[in-house]
Amino acid sequence: MARTVSCYDCGNTYAFDERKRCACGEPLWFETTPDEFAWDDAGAIDDAWRYIDALPVSNPTGVAPGGTPLVRAERLDEYAGCTLSLKHEGQNPTGSFKDRGSAVGIGYALEAGQAWVGTVSHGNMALSMSAYAAGAGLDCAVFVPADTPAERLELIGRHDPEIFRVEGDYGRLYADTLSLDAPVNFVNSDTPLRVAGQKTVAYEIVEQSAPDAPDAIVLPVSSGGQASAVWKALRELETAGAIDEIPRLYFCQAAACDPIAAAYRDDEPRVTPVTPEETIAVSIANADPPSGTRALAAARETGGAVVSVPDAAIRDAMDRLATRVGLSVEPSSAVAVAGVRRLAQRGEIEPSDDVVTVLTGSGYKERYDADVRSRTIDLDDVERELASVVGR
Amino acid sequence: MARTVSCYDCGNTYAFDERKRCACGEPLWFETTPDEFAWDDAGAIDDAWRYIDALPVSNPTGVAPGGTPLVRAERLDEYAGCTLSLKHEGQNPTGSFKDRGSAVGIGYALEAGQAWVGTVSHGNMALSMSAYAAGAGLDCAVFVPADTPAERLELIGRHDPEIFRVEGDYGRLYADTLSLDAPVNFVNSDTPLRVAGQKTVAYEIVEQSAPDAPDAIVLPVSSGGQASAVWKALRELETAGAIDEIPRLYFCQAAACDPIAAAYRDDEPRVTPVTPEETIAVSIANADPPSGTRALAAARETGGAVVSVPDAAIRDAMDRLATRVGLSVEPSSAVAVAGVRRLAQRGEIEPSDDVVTVLTGSGYKERYDADVRSRTIDLDDVERELASVVGR
C-alpha cells in the first residue's frame, strides 16, 4: 500500500519509500488526515492501537505500547508554577516512550516482509527496538559507540540483537544509515515510521484531558522526533475538529547541549550543531538534531518556546518527582519538569495554565551512587526504634 | 466505615481493625461480594480503579495501578505446551504487580487519616510502598535485612522512606509487625488491604479474556498474598455470574525454597516452614509464607497444583521471554513460565488450554554480569560489516 510523506517546510510530497528526507534537506512525515477521532467510550484507553487509523500499519502484533497514565501532580503545582499533569511514559513495555515508535516500525517491517530492522542508539531506542524485534521474530542491528560501557549493553543484550560497537564519529551514523545500501529498516530518531507512532502520546493526552485540551504540552527534546510527532498529532486533531486550538508546545534541553534552545533564543531560522558539554541528561544530548529545525518551527508556530536547564535543576526535578509524586524518571525526563518551572519563572506559563509534561522514561533502568539514609537496629528494638521516629 | 474481614478456612468474620489474623491462625481477607461486574465498554481497561466497587477504598488518588497488557505469546506455545498469554505486570507504575496492593493500602491510610505506612521488604514491595507513600505525602517505614546491599537500597531511597536495617532473624518481622504497638499501617505481603488490591489483576485477566475465562491462571507464589487475591477475585466473579467456572490455579516456586509446593506434593493439609537454599528467584524465596496454606487451598479447590522449578529452568524461561516475546522479567516472574512448561510436561496443562501467566515484575530493575555479544567495527566499514551479517 503506497503511503505519502510530506515536508512540513517546503510542502513537497513523496511516496514513502522514495526518499528518506526531503530534497530541501528537512525531515519527512506521513501524510494522514484522519476524518474523525472517536471519543465515544469516554477516554478509556487500552493502548496506542486505539489510534490505528492515523498510523501507517494495519494489523500490529506484539506488546501494545501506550495507554499510559496521565497523573495530576498537584503537589508540584507550586514548584512548577502551573496546574501540572504528567504523562508517565515509563509505563510502556520497555520503560520509555520509544515503544510507540518502535511498535509502528516493527509492525510496518512485518507487513512489508522486511527481515531486518536497525537503530542508532545505546539507550532507550536500542532497548525498545531490540525488544520489539525479538517479539516479532525479526533481526535487529544496533549501532552503539565503541566505548559504551558493558552494563549499558547488558539490558539491550537480553533481547539478543546484533550489536555493532562503532569506532569513529558516532554522530555521523544518523546520516550514514539513511544512505546505506542494506536491507535494513532503520527506525531512527525522527524517521517517518517512528514519528507516526510517537503521535499517539499526543492523541492520548488530548483524550485524557477532554473536554478541554491542555493549554500547553512540555517535552524534553533531543533529535526533535517526538516534538515533531506531537506537533503533527495536534495539527491533525485540529483539522479533524477534535480540538479548537493547538496547545502551546514547549521543548526543553539540558544547558550543556542545547542546539534547539540556542536557535530559539537567538532568533535563528534554523538549528545548527553545537559542541556539547557533559550532562547527566545523556540520552537527549544530541548536538546535531536531524529534526531540530522542525521542532523549532513547532514551538514557534504554536506560541511556545524552547528552553534549557542546568544539571542542578534537572537533579532537583528528579528528586521532587520521586519524593512528592512517587515517580522515578530518567534525568532526560526530568529536564521537562525543570523546564516548566523555568518557563513559569519567565512568565510564559501561568498558575492557571493546564500543562501536561511528558515523562519520557522510567528512572529504575539507571543506577546511581548514593548515600541512602538508613538506620541499623536490632530486631528486639523494632518497636522502640519505630516509636522514636513516628512519635506519638 | 466499618468493613468486614473473614477467614477462608474457619469462616469467622471480624471488623477490619479488630484483628490482624483469624483466631484459628489463618489470614483474613475483606468480605466483598459485588453484585455485578460491568462489562459494557467491551474491556477497555484504563486502570485498576475500574473495579473500585470491589475494593475497600472510596476515592483513591495518586498514580493508578493496573490496566496492564495481556499479551498473546504464540511464539512460546510450543515451549509452554499450551495456548499461552502473559499479563505484563512490569508495566505498573513502579514496575511490579505490588502497586495494586500498595495503592489500596495507601488509599485506605489517607481515608483513615493515618500518617504512617510500613512494609517488611527490600524488593518490589518496598519500592512500591515508598513510591506510593511519597506520592500521597505519607511517611513510610521500610524494614530490610541489615546486610542488604547499597545498590538495592538506592532505588528505594529515591522515594525517601525511613529505612530500618534490621539485625537478627528477618523472617520474624512479619509476625512482629502485626503485633507492634505503633501507629503504622503495615501493608505487608498478605494483609487484607494488599490482597484486596491484588484482586484487580484477576478481574482484568478475566475481562481481557472475555467472553471465555482462561482455563488456567499461573502465578509465582511467595507469601501467598497474590495467590489468595486471585482466588478471592475469581470466587467473587463466579458468585456474580460473570464467569461460569473458576479457572484452575497453578502456583510456582523456586525448587530451592518451595514450602507450598512441598506441602502440595506431600499431600499435607498445611504448609510448614522449610530451610531455604540459594536461588536467583530471591524475591519469592519465602521459607515461611504467612498465606501458604491459603494458597495451597486455592490450588486444590480450583483443580490446580503447586510446582517448583530449578534455577536452570528459570534462567531458560527468562531468556525465552526476552528473545521470543521481547519482555525482560525478573527471575521470580520467569518461575511461572518455567512452571507452565513443567505442568504441561506432566500432563496437567494441555496444548488447547488457554493459560494466562502473570509476569509479576520488570527485569530492567535488575542488573547482571553478562558477556554481551557484539562486534567492534570502524565507521567507514558500516555498510560492509552490516552486509556480512544481513546477507543478501
Q: Which three cell numbers stand for residue A304?
A: 511556545
**Which residues of chain B have a CB within 8 Å of the CB of A388?**
none
> Residue B102: what pLDDT?
98
Q: Is the pLDDT of residue A66 over 80?
A: yes
* CA–CA separation, A48 and A65 (whole Å): 6
What digits encode the pLDDT tens for the residues B120-174? 999 999 999 999 999 999 999 999 999 998 888 999 999 999 999 999 988 889 8
Nearest to B138 by CA among B66, B191, B187: B187
Say if the Cβ atoms of A326 and B164 lie within 8 Å: no
Given pLDDT bands bounded at 50, 70 and 90, which one contains residue A64?
very high
If you count residue pairs, one on A and one on B, with CB atoms under 8 Å apart, how many are there? 292
Q: Which three cell numbers stand for residue B156?
A: 528505594
**Which residues of chain B have a CB within 8 Å of the CB of A370?**
154, 157-158
The verdict on A139 touching B (C-beta cutoff 8 Å) is yes
**How many folded domains does chain A comprise?**
1
What letter represents residue A26's amino acid?
A: E
Q: Please name the residues between 6 and 35 in chain B that touch chain A, using a CB distance below 8 Å.
A: none
* CA–CA separation, B231 and B251 (whole Å): 11
Q: Is the pLDDT of residue B182 over 50?
A: yes
Closest residue, chain A, to B87 (C-alpha): A63
Q: Is residue B30 part of a domain?
A: no
Average pLDDT over residues A251-278: 97
Q: Is the pLDDT of residue B217 over 90?
A: yes
- As a whole number, the mean pLDDT across chain A is 94
Rounded to the nearest angstrom, the minimum Cα separation between B264 and chain A is 32
Tell me what ipTM this predicted complex has: 0.96
**Which residues of chain A have a CB within 8 Å of the CB of B322?**
131, 134, 158-160
The H helix count followed by the E strand count for chain B is 12, 14
Nearest to B234 by CA among B216, B251, B220: B216
* CA–CA separation, A179 and A174 (whole Å): 9
Domain that holds residue A203: 70-95+195-359
Rounded to the nearest angstrom, the minimum Cα separation between B23 and chain A is 23
Q: Is residue B148 part of a domain?
A: no
What digits encode the pLDDT tens for the residues A22-44? 999 999 999 987 776 765 555 67
The verdict on A40 touching B (C-beta cutoff 8 Å) is no
The verdict on A136 touching B (C-beta cutoff 8 Å) is yes
Q: Is the pLDDT of residue A1 over 50?
A: no
Q: Is residue A322 part of a domain?
A: yes
Q: Is residue A330 part of a domain?
A: yes
The verdict on B155 touching A (C-beta cutoff 8 Å) is yes
Q: Is the pLDDT of residue A298 over 50?
A: yes
Say if the Cβ atoms of A367 and B367 lie within 8 Å: yes
**Which residues of chain B have a CB within 8 Å of the CB of A45?**
44, 46
Q: Is the pLDDT of residue B286 over 60?
A: yes
H or E stretch at A233: helix A225-239
* Residue B76 vs residues A135, B302, B319, B326, B361: alpha-carbon distances, Å: 10, 25, 11, 11, 19
Give the residue carrying C-alpha cell 518490589: B124
Mutate to test the interface with A, among B86, B91, B124, B204 (most CBs of A within 10 A): B91
Say if the Cβ atoms of A163 and B373 lie within 8 Å: yes
Say if the Cβ atoms of A370 and B135 lie within 8 Å: no
Average pLDDT over residues A166-184: 89
Q: Which three cell numbers stand for residue A256?
A: 550543556
Given pLDDT bands bounded at 50, 70 and 90, which one contains residue B175?
confident
Q: Is the pTM of this model over 0.95?
A: yes
Give the residue carrying C-alpha cell 499461552: B84
What digits encode the pLDDT tens for the residues A111-154? 999 999 999 999 999 999 999 999 999 999 999 999 998 888 99
Q: Is residue B16 part of a domain?
A: no
Rounded to the nearest angstrom, the minimum Cα separation between A287 and chain B is 18
> Residue A35: what pLDDT?
76
Q: Which three cell numbers stand for residue B256?
A: 530451592
Average pLDDT over residues A179-189: 91
Rounded to the nearest angstrom, the minimum Cα separation between B303 and chain A is 30
* CA–CA separation, A27 and A371 (whole Å): 45
> Are B79 and B339 in contact, with CB atoms under 8 Å apart?
no
Q: Which of A63, A180, A379 is nearest residue B168 as measured by Cβ atoms?
A: A379
The verdict on A180 touching B (C-beta cutoff 8 Å) is yes
Say if the Cβ atoms of B375 and A158 lie within 8 Å: no
* CA–CA separation, B327 and A339 (whole Å): 33
Q: Is residue A206 part of a domain?
A: yes
- The CATH number for B305's domain is 3.40.50.1100
> Residue B1: what pLDDT?
47
Q: Is residue A278 part of a domain?
A: yes
Closest residue, chain A, to B120 (C-alpha): A382
Say if the Cβ atoms of B326 and A372 lie within 8 Å: no
Say if the Cβ atoms of B327 and A135 lie within 8 Å: yes
Distance of CA B78 to the CA centre of its chain: 25
The verdict on A38 touching B (C-beta cutoff 8 Å) is no
Q: Is residue A221 part of a domain?
A: yes
What digits encode the pLDDT tens for the residues B7-55? 999 999 999 988 889 999 999 999 987 776 765 555 678 899 999 989 9
- As a whole number, the mean pLDDT across chain B is 94
**Which residues of chain B have a CB within 8 Å of the CB of A130?**
326
First to last CA, chain A: 70
Phi, psi at residue B220, to the nearest 5°?
-75, 155
Say if the Cβ atoms of B154 and A370 lie within 8 Å: yes
